[in-house]
Structures are given as structure tokens and as C-alpha cells.
Amino acid sequence: MKKLSFTYLLLVTGIIATLLSIEVNAQNVVQIERAREVTNITEDGEAIRKMYDVRLRTGNIEMVCDSAWEFIDRNELRAYGNIEIETPDEIIWTDTLFYFTDQEISQLRGRVVILQDSTTLFGEQVDYNFLTKVADFEDGIRLEDEGGTLIANTGRYFQIQDSAIFRGNVQVADTAQYAEGDSLFINRNTQFLQLHSNIFVQDSTNNALLTGDYLEADSTGRRYVQGNSYLRQISTDSTDTTHINSKDLLMLDQDSTDIIRAMQNVRVWSPDFSSVSDTLIYTSDTEIFELISNPTAWHKNIQLNGPYIQVQMDSNAVNYLTSYKNTITVQKDSTTGRYNQIKGDTLNVNFENGQISRIKIYPNSQVLYHTKNEEDEPDGAVEYTSPETIMYFEEGDLVRVTALKNNGYFFEEFPGLADRKLDGFKWQPELRPLRPEVAAEPRFPPVPIERPFELPNRYLDYISTDPEE
């Protein structure tokens, strides 16, 4: 009984396998729905069916063309001239087609246009798999959709996954943004992309420019730049520009608030303010820069050092500055070249119209201030300690100082007084970032408005009658 059951199982399995084979082969049969002329010939012992002005069907694929050759014994179809192919998922126009029906693979040559949903692809050498819906563009690709236009030297488009890989001189453009790089991976369904090597991004809406070695972005508004990152932001009135250089840069868009986090070797330059630090955090709704891990900041001829510095901006101008714990500020006098120094646990600085208006140092303030005579010549210095010191300025010049319970003394001018320094003195103008001398620019010419070739006639007929085009 067991032997009979096993034999019966083999028999049934064989029948099923045969039926499946028949069904699969049936999908590969080329059916002629219409033809002006059909000729069956034999060349070099091979059966060939030649068809002219023909409409064909194989499986769920329909095609019209000027002529087609079906190689009967090797499941190959060749079509020439004015070709239009339609499946449930796409419409394809091309000049030449080599279609291997048993593998669902086609080689499209000449003027190739692929329409899938709202995406139109252009190329001149495309290999397409009707089963996996993967298109390989070997000699240039142009992609157009409602979001803009992309061009690259080569590309692979995955229709089912709605994703693509592009390589070589990649450019993406729409009405407000432009991006370029050496290669790009994108999943349009999740709006996730990776742009590699020599990236350049320009955002005209936000007056921003971004460069680096690698860019990662997604639909949440997250933008991450890795390696040689650079961000340029121009104020709305185009009067001020902020430049941020760092190793890595992270930008987040959270509830209409932009957050920028720059990491490692961070350098900032703007007309009124510049800095270096290990980390920078900027929040757009508060317009606050936070400089973390031994930062140094400069304003005109003033240098500030401290473990933590917070800068409050107002329309790209410095409005308020705070530094915490063991902070020291040095000002180099423009006429005498001497260094006025302020030191304390906390430093608060107020600005008006781009000029310092008030400085408060507390507690444990220490001050070394060099004095000048009426001829602006050095004539001594004041040094003292106090629980709190407040300095008042007019148009950047010191006009008044108040100090609670100060303990100090006045030095008459003597040789060596110019070299007197408080503990922790630092003056490092060589570290101060400079305005970039060369503006970052795209490497490639703009994305052309024109398509890469004269459009096929059947495609022109289609877009002229399609109400969505």
C-alpha cells in the first residue's frame, strides 16, 4: 500500500508539473491581433515569422510597431520602428526592441520613453524586465515627475519598490531647489535619499546652500551631511550671510522649527560674529547658537573663551551673549595694541545695533584694563577683583564701570605693563574663521529643459490626447 501511494504521488506530481509547464509556456506565445502582412520563412535552418504594421500580444503585454520578427525556436521577438508597448503598469515607447519572452527581458534602444504612474523616464539604451519591473539605463537617464527633473549618466529604476539608483553627474532640480552629486539612492515612497560624493544643494526658498561628502534626507525634514560639511545661510534682506563649516552637520525640521547641529571642528563666520567649537546647536525659533566644548568666539576686536557660549541672534545680528564658568574675554585696543581682559564665572553681554552696550561679569569677576591719555597713549592700567562688575559702552567705547566691593589697584606706566595678563589669558587670532574667499558653485551646467532627443510620434500622440498631460 505504501508503494502504491508513493507511485500515485509521483504520478500526480508529474501531471501538475506538466500543467504548470503548459501554462507558463502559454504566457510566452506571441499572438497576432492585427497585421498588414505576415510571412513565415526559414533562414539558416531557423524558423522566423516576419510581421509588418502589426499589433501583438504576449501574456499581459500589448505592442504595436512598424515591423516585428519572431524567432519561433528561441523565444525571441525583435521589433522595429514606432514602437508602443502597454502593460497594466507602464507604457513604453522606443525605436527598437529585442524581447526575450521566456525571461520577460527586453532591450530597448533608440528613443526610449517609459511612463509609470506620474513618472516619465527617458533614455537611449535601456534594459527592462517586465517581471521584476526593473529598468537599467546604461547611457543616460532623465526622470520627470511632479517633484521636478533628475538626470544622470546611468540609472537603475525599481518600479515595484518605487526606488532608484543613479550614478555619474547626478542632478536634481525643481522650481525651488537644486542638488547634485556623483551618485544618488532614493526611495520615493518613503522620501528617503542618499546623495554621495561632491554634493551641492541650493535652496532658493530658504536662501541656503549646502555642500559636503555625503547627504542623507527623509520625509521628516531630517538632513544629515557627513564629511566636509558646509552651510551658507543668507538673511532675508540679503545684507548678512552666515557660513558654518564642520565635519558633520545635522538639520531637523520639527513643527516649523529648524534645528542645526554641527559636530567636530565647527567654524562659524558672519559679519558680526565668528567662532570655533567642537559642537554647535542652532534653533531657529529662538535664534540661539549654543557653542559647546571649549569654544572660542570673536566679535570685532574681542575674543571670548569659555566651556559654554550661548549667542542670541536677532535677524542675523548678535543681540545677547552668555558664557558660563571660568570664562575670559580679551579685547585688543586698536590704538595701543594692549589687551584689556575680563574674567569671571558668568559673562553676559548686550548688543545694540551691532555694538556692545553692556557687559556684566559675576561672580568672582577679575578685570585688567589699560588706560590711555588724551593723545590715546598708554598711561597705566587698573586691575581688581569684585563679586560683580558691570561695564557700559556707547558706540563700542567704554564709558562707565561699576564694581561691587572691588579690591584692586592702579599701575603707573612702566616697562612690561603691556605684557601683564590674567590667569587663563588667551589671544588666538590665527584660529579665527575668515569669510570664504571662493563661493561654492555647482560643477555642472543647469538641468536642460529640453528632453534628450526628439520625442517619438506615438508618445506625442499620447500626451496630446491624455487629459492629465
Query: What are 172-221's pLDDT values in tens digits?
Result: 998 889 999 999 999 988 889 999 999 999 988 878 899 999 999 998 88
User: Could you give the CA distance from residue 99 to residue 79 in angstroms, rounded to a whole number?
Assistant: 8
The pLDDT score that the predictor gives to residue 20 is 30
Using one digit for the tens of pLDDT, what is the confidence trace for 28-51?
577 899 999 999 999 888 899 999
The pLDDT score that the predictor gives to residue 26 is 34
> What's the sign of the alpha-carbon dihedral 115, 116, 122, 124?
negative
Residue 394 CB-half CA count within 13 A:
3
340: Cβ–Cβ under 8 A, 6 or more apart, which residues? Answer: 330, 331, 332, 333, 368, 369, 370
**Average pLDDT over every residue of 213-240:** 86
User: At 130, is the pLDDT very low, low, confident or very high (cuts 50, 70, 90)?
Assistant: confident
Per-residue pLDDT at 455 exceeds 60:
yes
Per-residue pLDDT at 16 exceeds 50:
no
Which of 2-11, 129-138, 320-329 shows the lowest mean pLDDT across its residues? 2-11
User: Could you give the CA distance from residue 352 to residue 182 in angstroms, rounded to a whole number?
Assistant: 46
Pairing, β 397-404 against β 46-58: unpaired
**Average pLDDT over every residue of 434-443:** 90
The pLDDT score that the predictor gives to residue 438 is 85
The pLDDT score that the predictor gives to residue 161 is 85
User: Could you give the CA distance from residue 412 to residue 366 in angstroms, rounded to a whole number?
Assistant: 19
The pLDDT score that the predictor gives to residue 205 is 81
Triad 409, 414, 420: Cα angle to 5°: 65
Give the 3-state secondary structure percentages of the chain, helix then strand then coil, rounded to 5.
10, 60, 30
Residue 145 CB-half CA count within 13 A:
12
Residue, of 185 and 25, whose pLDDT is higher:
185
The pLDDT score that the predictor gives to residue 22 is 28
Q: How far is CA 50 from CA 36, 39, 76, 99, 213, in A?
A: 11, 5, 12, 15, 54
- All three cell numbers of 446: 543647469
User: Could you give the CA distance from residue 384 to residue 238 in angstroms, rounded to a whole number?
Assistant: 44
Percentage of the chain exceeding pLDDT 70: 91
The pLDDT score that the predictor gives to residue 273 is 86
User: Could you give the CA distance from residue 23 to residue 140 in angstroms, rounded to a whole number?
Assistant: 38
* Buried/exposed 416-454: b ≥16 CB within 10 Å, e otherwise: eeeebeeeeeeeeeeeebeeeeeeeeeeeeebeeeebbe
User: At 13, is the pLDDT very low, low, confident or very high (cuts 50, 70, 90)?
Assistant: very low
Which of 165-169, 285-289, 328-332 shows the lowest mean pLDDT across its residues? 285-289
Q: What is the mean pLDDT of the chain?
A: 87
Using one digit for the tens of pLDDT, what is the confidence trace for 65-75?
999 999 988 88
10: Cβ–Cβ under 8 A, 6 or more apart, which residues? Answer: none
**Contact by Cβ (8 Å): 344, 361:** yes
Using one digit for the tens of pLDDT, what is the confidence trace for 326-371?
899 999 998 899 999 999 999 999 988 878 899 999 999 999 999 9
Q: Which amino acid is at 58?
A: T
Per-residue pLDDT at 171 exceeds 90:
yes
Per-residue pLDDT at 425 exceeds 50:
yes
Q: Which amino acid is at 441?
A: E
User: At 441, is the pLDDT very low, low, confident or very high (cuts 50, 70, 90)?
Assistant: very high
Per-residue pLDDT at 12 exceeds 80:
no
Task: Determine if residue 169 is left, alpha or beta; phi over 0 gives left, psi from -120 to 50 gives alpha, anything else beta.
Answer: left
User: At 117, is the pLDDT very low, low, confident or very high (cuts 50, 70, 90)?
Assistant: confident
Looking at residue 174, the DSSP 8-state letter turns out to be -
The pLDDT score that the predictor gives to residue 237 is 61
Per-residue pLDDT at 244 exceeds 80:
yes
**Contact by Cβ (8 Å): 354, 272:** yes
Percentage of the chain exceeding pLDDT 90: 59
The length of the chain is 469
**Contact by Cβ (8 Å): 326, 304:** no
Per-residue pLDDT at 264 exceeds 60:
yes
**Contact by Cβ (8 Å): 371, 399:** no
**Contact by Cβ (8 Å): 143, 118:** no
The pLDDT score that the predictor gives to residue 5 is 38
248: Cβ–Cβ under 8 A, 6 or more apart, which residues? Answer: 224, 225, 226, 227, 229, 262, 263, 264
User: Could you give the CA distance from residue 159 to residue 117 in angstroms, rounded to a whole number?
Assistant: 10
The pLDDT score that the predictor gives to residue 105 is 86
